[in-house]
Structure 1
Amino acid sequence: MDPKELPSNIREDKISEETKKLISSLPSHIDYQGHKLCKYQGCWYYYNTLQGVLNFQRGFQPHDTDIIIASYPKSGTTWLKALTVALLERSKNHSSDDADHPLLYDNPHGIIPFLEIDMYHESSSPNLAKFSATPRLFSTHMPLHTMHKTLKHSPCKIVYVCRDVKDTLISCWFYSTAIYKIEPTRSVLESMFKDLCDGTNYFGPFWEHLLSYWRGSLEDPNRVLFMRYEEMKAEPRDQIKRLADFLGCPFTKQEEESGSVDEILDLCSLRNLSSLEVNKTGKINNVDHKIFFRKGDVGDSKFFLTREMENKIDMVIQEKLQGSGLKF
C-alpha cells in the first residue's frame, strides 16, 4: 500500500529531528502490518501520533469551557461525538431536521477533531480560529495521565467512553483491515489479539487507558465523566440525560415530554448516521467515513473469538483491574 494512502497518524512524515532522537531512546514494537510503534509515558504510539502528542503537550492552551471526548480506539467514539454535538446544538435551536444541522453535512470526526491526530500532528501552535464558538469540542485517544500537566489547572470537562475489550478488538480488526484494504483474516486477528494481551497495541495497554480515566472520574467526578458503551446501548435515554447533565445542558421537563431525547437518539443512531450521504461518500485523514459505521452490537466478539481467546482476555482484565473497583 502506498504510504501516502495511509491515515496521517500511521505515517512517519511529520516527525521532527528532536522527536526522532527521542524515539531512538524509547521501547519499540512493530505491528502486524510492519508499522513501527514506540512507548512514551506508558502508552504505545505510531511515530506521527507521538509527534502530535508532543506538540499537544507543548502547545495546547485549554479554555475553561472546553469539552474533550476521550476513548480507547473503537469504543463508541463516533456515537459519543454525535450525541455531544446534538445535545449542544439544542441551545442554538437546531432540531434534527434542520438543513444546517452539523451532523447532516459533516462526519462526527470532522466536527470534533482529535487533538493528537488532527489538530496538533504538524505543529504545537495550529490555527484554532475555527474553534471560536463556546464550548470548543475536541477529542483524544490519549490516556488521561498523558494530558495531566497540560490540563492540570483547567476545569474543562472530559467525557470518556469505555467498551468491552473483546468487542473493541473485533471492531479494531474490521476497521484496521478496511483501512489497509486487506482481508480480515484469522492470522491478522490473532496477531492483534496477542498485541492486545501483551499491551503493545496502538494506544495500549488498554488496561492503563481504562484505569487512567476511571481514577480520574473517581477523583474529580465533576470534571471527568466515565461512560460505558454497554449501558448507553441498554439504557440510552438515561445515559443521554446523564451526559446532558454533565455537559451543563440538561433536558427540561418540556423537552422530555415533547420527545427531544428520542429525537436526538434517533438522529445519532447508527442506522441514521450511516445512511446520511456525507457518511457514505466523505473522507477524513484518508479514511472513508463509511468505515466508521459497522454494526455497533454488544457481544459481537463471541462470533469471532475462540473460547480460549475470550478466557485469556477476561483473565488479563481481571488481573490488571484488580483492586480498582472497575469491573466488566
Structure 2
Amino acid sequence: MWSPLGMMNSKNWCKASPKRKAGQDPIFTSIKALTFSTLYRNQFPWDENPLLTFGPHQLVRFFEYDLYLNNPFPDLRNVCAYQPRLFSTHAPYATLPTSIKDSGCKIVYICRNPMDMFISLWLFSAKLRDKNRESLSLDEAFDKFYHGISAHGPFFDHVLGYWKASQENPNKILFLNFEDLKEDMDSHLKILAMFLGVPFTDDEEKQGVVEKIAKICSFENLKELEVNMKGVHTSGVPHTHFFRKGEVGDWSNYLTPFMIECLEKLIQEKLNGSGLTFKLLSKTANNVASPRS
C-alpha cells in the first residue's frame, strides 16, 4: 500500500505526542460539514455557521494532507476553534495505531458505492494532473482500481476494515453510506448526533434544527457557497475541485458494460458473507448486496 508522506508523519503524533487528549477528539473520514454543524451547533449563532465563510476542509482538517504535510510534529492543541476537536483522515483502519483504536475517541466512516467512487476518483485525479502529463484513460484507471492499486490501499480492504470494526464496536465506529445520506439525510443526522453524544432535543426537532443542518450541509448548497468557489486548500488543490456532482449512479454515464459486469462480480466476491450492501441506483443495477454465506 502506498501512503503520502503526511500520513506517515501523522502516525508519529498518534503514537507519541503528549499533547493529544486521547478519548475526547473524534477522528473523521469525510462527512465533515454534517459532523461539524451537528456537533458544534450550540457553540455559534445559527446565522454565523463557520461553513458560510470557511470550507469544510478548513474546519475539519486532514492529518495527512494538511496538518502533517510539512511537519512531522505539529502542535495540535490550538488547530480547532471548538471542542471536542475534529480531524479527518483517509488512513485504512488496519494502519490506525493502537493509541487511536484503544482510546475513547469516536470514528465516523462514510462509504460510497465502488462504481461512483471510482468515477469520482478518476475525474478528481485528472484535475490534479500536471498540464504536461497526460491523464490516465478510463481503461487504464479502471485496470488499476480493479486490481486494488490505489493511494490508500485497495478499495474493498479499506471499506471492509472499517465495516468489520464497526460491527465489532458500534459505540466507537459509525459506518455510514453516502447513498443512504442522500436518500434520507434527516434520519441519518439524528443517528450521527446520537452517536456523537449530542442527540437532538424535542425542542430542536420542533424548531426544524435537523432540517436546517441538512439544508446548509447539502452538496448543492455547499457547492454554491462563495468560499467553496474560490481559493486553494493547503495541499494546493483548488476548493472547486472538491465539488463535482454529488449524485448517485453517475457511473452509468461512464462505465462500459464490460466494466460494470467486472465490478458487479468483484463486489459479490469481496463482500461475500460480510453483510455489507452497496446501493448503485442505476438502470443497470439497482442494488448489489453481500450474499449471506
TM range (shorter): 0.7 to 0.9
Q: Deviations over 1:56-87 (max 9, x none)?
A: 454454521111112xxxxxx3xx10001111
The answer for the alignment partner of 2:122 in structure 1 is 173
How many Å apart are 1:109 and its aligned residue? 0.7
Aligned counterparts of 1:129 and 1:188: Cα–Cα separation in 2: 43
Residue in structure 2 matching 1:266, options 188, 197, 215: 215
Q: Equivalent of 2:33, from 63, 73, 82?
A: 82
Aligned partner letter, 1:107: G
The partner residue of 2:26 within 60, 67, 72 is 67
TM (norm. structure 2) is 0.87
Does the alignment pair 1:315 with 2:265?
A: yes
Rounded Cα–Cα distance in structure 1 between residues aligned with 2:202 and 2:101? 36
* Partner Cα separation in structure 1 for residue 122 and residue 149 of structure 2: 15
Secondary structure of 2:157's counterpart equals helix
Q: For the residues of structure 2 that align with 1:59 and 1:314, how far apart are their CA atoms?
A: 43
Residue 22 of structure 2 aligns with an amino acid whose one-letter code is: H
Q: Contact between 1:192 and 1:201, CA under 8 Å: does it hold in 2? A: no
Equivalent residue for 2:72, pick from 119, 124, 133: 124
Letter in 2 for 1:196: F
Q: Residue 154 of structure 1 aligns to a residue in which SS? A: coil
**Residues 50 and 152 (structure 1), Cα distance of their counterparts in 2 relative to 1, 3 Å cut:** closer
- Return closer, same or farther for 1:287/1:293 CA change in 2, 3 Å cut-off: same
Unaligned runs of 5+ in 2: 279-293
Q: Which amino acid aligns with 1:139?
A: S
* Superposition RMSD in Å: 2.0
Q: Within 2, Cα distance between the matches of 1:247 and 1:222?
A: 9
Q: Match for 1:110 among 54, 58, 61?
A: 58
TM-score computed with the length of structure 1 as normaliser: 0.78
1:287 maps to a residue whose letter is V
Partner residue in 1 for 2:12: 55
Contact 1:69 1:160 in 2 (8 A): yes
Q: Which residue, out of 87, 94, 103, partners 1:145?
A: 94
Give the Cα–Cα distance (whole angstroms) in 2 for the partners of residues 49 and 196 of structure 1. Answer: 23
Q: How many Å apart are 1:232 and its aligned residue?
A: 0.4
1:93 is displaced (CA, Å) by 4.4
Measured at CA, do residues 144 and 270 of structure 1 come closer, stay the same or move farther in structure 2, by a change above 3 Å? Answer: same
Question: What is aligned with 1:227?
Answer: 176
Distance 2:227 2:259 in 1: 37
* Structure 1 residues 206 and 326: CA distance shift in structure 2, 3 A: same
Q: Distance in 1 between matches of 2:256 and 2:247?
A: 18
Does 2:281 correspond to 1:324?
no
Contact 2:222 2:228 in 1 (8 A): yes
- Summarize the Cα distance change of 1:262–1:240 in structure 2 as closer, same or farther, 3 Å threshold: same
Q: 2:184 is matched by which residue type in structure 1?
A: E
